[in-house]
């Protein structure tokens, strides 16, 4: 039976010019390169300059994805931006990306699921495309998490970075087989009871300020491995695939230890794991499209490959999506 699938047409990313090493941070707070590398795998992160807002990063990543797809921005009829660091409380960053690209038709909106934002955005775009409600979607993950950090708090400020990545997804008719290209399944979950473990202590409706990121890292770590392995397993079950069928595992890049523990538990070979956390740190909703783009650019991810993305973030929110590239 013929059905619509969301097929990847292009991928792109953008990183701010300025990099900050662990040694740079050790000059500001009581930490060390050794501690950060050992506990997280992070060696450096990119930090946005004041003129590099989330929409500025998002527009550059989106342009790269459109160029990769070889399509005109005017043919996009859906823009979703996953972010927790919008330029302004409103209008949405997605509308500013839309305007920056000269798109005047279709819909644009932000999606907020913190580090799971990109998986949520792919799942949402997929529903629009698979039902015929849109034909070409730009799915952007863009963040300036550096603006949310308490630079005196060594337990959080060493973990995050800024950046943006984007995918162009297009509705294409197929047979609906696992061998056909496109998003094969997405699995989304959330549980708001975990708010206190990872949150920002401000907002327009409470303090009237932006607030700073607060995290009980150990608690997040404890929850992360079990929850992401559950949603990845459910994606395999939903599509009749297994870890052996997978070509690439592209997880949210928060911590190398979480990523490797999850891959091991799922039986995914280490050489199939795409890692960028060493160079980018945790860029929240931008981390997966940044990693996807890195692996496309260096020739690892190729057309027809089976690619699993997964993430967990504040809320908690978490999810996975399996994509035939």
Residue ranges in contact with ligand ACO by CB under 6 A = 31, 35, 39-40, 114-115, 154-155, 158, 198, 217-218, 220-221, 224, 254-255, 258, 282, 284, 312-314
- According to DSSP, the residues that pair with 213 across neighbouring strands are 200
> Whose Cβ is closer to ligand ACO: residue 10's or residue 314's?
314
Shortest Å distance, C-beta 7 to ligand ACO: 29
> Whose Cβ is closer to ligand ACO: residue 138's or residue 198's?
198
Shortest Å distance, C-beta 145 to ligand ACO: 7
The CB-nearest residue to ligand ACO is 217
> Whose Cβ is closer to ligand ACO: residue 130's or residue 216's?
216
What is the C-alpha to C-alpha distance for residues 285 and 237, in angstroms, rounded to an integer?
A: 25
Shortest Å distance, C-beta 157 to ligand ACO: 8
Residue 252 known to be catalytic = yes
- Residues in CB range of 83: below 8 A, 6 or more apart: 54, 58, 93, 110, 111, 112, 117, 141, 142, 143, 284, 285
CA distances from 173 to 7, 144, 181, 305, 306 (A): 9, 37, 10, 19, 19
> Whose Cβ is closer to ligand ACO: residue 6's or residue 83's?
83
Joined together, the tokens standing for residue 191 give 């549980």
Shortest Å distance, C-beta 254 to ligand ACO: 3
Query: What does the DSSP 8-state code read for residue 307?
Result: E
Shortest Å distance, C-beta 218 to ligand ACO: 4
What angle is formed at CA 37 by the lines to CA 35 and CA 38, rounded to 5 degrees?
65
* 209 φ, ψ (degrees, to nearest 5): -120, 170
Burial class of residue 175, CB neighbours in 10 A (0-12, 13-18, 19+): exposed
What is the C-alpha to C-alpha distance for residues 111 and 143, in angstroms, rounded to an integer?
A: 12
- Residues in CB range of 237: below 8 A, 6 or more apart: none
One of 11, 22, 81, 115 is an active-site residue; which one? 115
Residue with the two structure tokens 């009237």: 208
One of 252, 255, 280, 296 is an active-site residue; which one? 252
Residue 157 known to be catalytic = no
> Whose Cβ is closer to ligand ACO: residue 9's or residue 154's?
154
Residue 296 known to be catalytic = no
Cα–Cα nearest to 138, from 184, 189, 53, 69: 69
> Whose Cβ is closer to ligand ACO: residue 86's or residue 314's?
314
H/E run at residue 204 = none
Shortest Å distance, C-beta 221 to ligand ACO: 4
Catalytic positions, please? 115, 252, 282
């Amino acid at each position: 039976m013929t059905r619509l699938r969301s097929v990847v047409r292009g991928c792109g990313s953008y990183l701010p010019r300025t990099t900050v090493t662990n040694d740079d941070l050790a000059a500001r707070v009581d930490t060390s390169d050794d501690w950060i590398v050992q506990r997280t795998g992070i060696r450096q992160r990119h930090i946005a300059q004041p003129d590099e807002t989330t929409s500025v990063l998002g527009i550059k990543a989106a342009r790269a994805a459109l160029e990769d797809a070889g399509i005109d921005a005017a043919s996009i009829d859906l823009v979703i931006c996953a972010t927790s660091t919008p330029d302004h409380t409103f209008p949405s960053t997605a509308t500013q990306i839309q305007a920056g690209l000269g798109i005047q038709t279709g819909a644009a909106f932000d999606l907020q699921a913190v580090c799971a934002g990109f998986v949520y955005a792919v799942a949402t775009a997929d529903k629009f495309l698979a039902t015929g409600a849109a034909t070409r979607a730009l799915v952007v993950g863009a963040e300036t998490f550096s603006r949310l950090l308490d630079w005196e708090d060594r337990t959080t400020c060493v973990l995050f970075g800024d950046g943006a990545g984007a995918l162009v997804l297009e509705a294409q008719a197929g047979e609906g087989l696992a061998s056909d290209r496109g998003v094969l399944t997405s699995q989304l979950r959330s549980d708001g009871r975990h708010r206190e473990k990872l949150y920002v202590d401000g907002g327009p409706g409470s303090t009237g300020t932006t607030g700073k990121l607060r995290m009980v890292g150990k608690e997040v770590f404890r929850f992360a491995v079990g929850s992401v392995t559950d949603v990845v397993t459910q994606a395999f079950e939903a599509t009749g695939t297994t870890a052996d069928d997978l070509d690439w595992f592209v997880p949210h890049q928060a911590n190398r230890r979480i990523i490797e523990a999850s891959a091991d538990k799922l039986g995914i070979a280490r050489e199939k794991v795409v890692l960028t956390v060493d160079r980018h740190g945790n860029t929240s909703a931008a981390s997966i499209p940044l990693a996807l783009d890195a692996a496309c650019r260096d020739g690892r991810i190729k057309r027809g490959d089976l690619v699993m993305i997964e993430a967990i973030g504040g809320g908690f929110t978490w999810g996975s999506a399996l994509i035939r590239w």
